[in-house]
Amino acid sequence: MTSRTAIFGVANEKGDENEKLVELFKNRAELKKEFAELRKEQHRLQQRVKEQQGATARITQKLEHLESLLVDPEWAHTVVVFYQLRALNRRCQRKLAKFAEQLKQQRERRRQDSQLAGWQEKLEQSASALQQQIGEHRMHVQQLEDRLQAERQKMESMSGLAKVLKGRAASGKLDELAKQLADAQQVEQDLLLKFDGIQHRKPPDTAGLGIADKRSINFMIMAFAQQLYLQFRDERLVSLVKESGDKSVGAINYGNKDECDTLLALIVGQCDSVEKITDFADVLQRRTGLIAEHAVFKDDDDVVPIAGTVATVFAINASGVIREKDVNMLGENFWGLSNVLSR
């Protein structure tokens, strides 16, 4: 007995040691995995620090460059003009982006309303047809109830011999009518449940805008971008505004103080002009149609036309006279046009 205990005791000890060894290897594997994850995270953070240091260095360099320009009497006025031009460029970008977003939302709402109206109409038609069916079936149930009640009264009014002779047949008829009534009531319940389901049916998800809708939206956005362009009375100024968005401060010299003051006066007047764009829906619609007539797409499912095919700006005066000018607004990305088009 003692020897057996000793043997099993040794076996149990070895088993415990094996389990501990397995657990140790598991823990070691988990630690290695966690360590690898930590090293990966450390590498990612080091990369972010390097990127941030690079960005900080670039900003510091720009600030030092700007400071050197501002302390230079020949460049100080040019710097002011540059940032005023850039501010006007961004104002035009914001105005175009706002118009594009409102137009997209309007079209999406219109499409959703149209789809919802169609779904609602079909739902009402289904509900109306089912209501009629329920009403007709209700009359059928009522007739069965009346017949069953009449047969019961008839059976109850039978006297001795008549009850013996006709009772079994009358009882069978009552059972048959009761079964028909129960079946009809079940059908009525099913119809009512179906009607309730129609009443609580949720509208389907609306489909997104199609290719034709997106093209139409883009034509109108391009027409509005042209309107912003045409608001500029000075062709040199519109070029300078566009240029300020593409180049950095110090890349352009706008001249001496008098020349810069003249430009600043033009910029102030132009800011007022941009903000005073009034109702021009008819002109916008007509310009949109002209753009659409000339637009060519690379593929059938493209919604943004080839830039060269929409490189004509259409100026339409109050008398409806059209003047054309070659300006590739999409290709040159005036006012960030390519960034706000529907895709």
pLDDT at residue 9 tops 60? no
Model pLDDT, residue 160 = 63
Average pLDDT score over the chain: 85
What residue segments make up the domains of the chain, in order of their start?
1-67, 90-115+209-340, 118-199
pLDDT digits (tens, 9 = 90+) for 112-126: 888 888 888 888 898
pLDDT digits (tens, 9 = 90+) for 240-290: 999 999 998 888 899 999 999 999 999 988 887 777 766 578 899 999 999
Model pLDDT, residue 281 = 83
Grade residue 11 by pLDDT with cuts at 50, 70 and 90: low
pTM of the model: 0.68
Model pLDDT, residue 258 = 93
Which three-class secondary structure string do you get for the chain? Answer: CHHHHHHHHHHHHHHHHHHHHHHHHHHHHHHHHHHHHHHHHHHHHHHHHHHHHHHHHHHHHHHHHHHHHHCCHHHHHHHHHHHHHHHHHHHHHHHHHHHHHHHHHHHHHHHHHHHHHHHHHHHHHHHHHHHHHHHHHHHHHHHHHHHHHHHHHHHHCCCHHHHHHHHHHHHHHHHHHHHHHHHHHHHHHHHHHHHHHHHCCCCCCCCCCCHHHHHHHHHHHHHHHHHHHHCCCCHHHHHHHHHHHHCCCCCCCCCCHHHHHHHHHHHHHHHHHHHCCCCCHHHHHHHHHHHHHHCCCCCCCCCCCCHHHHCEEEEECCCCCEEEEECCCCCCCHHHHHHHCCC
pLDDT digits (tens, 9 = 90+) for 143-191: 988 888 887 787 777 676 556 556 567 677 778 888 888 998 899 899 8
pLDDT digits (tens, 9 = 90+) for 190-216: 989 988 888 888 888 777 788 999 999
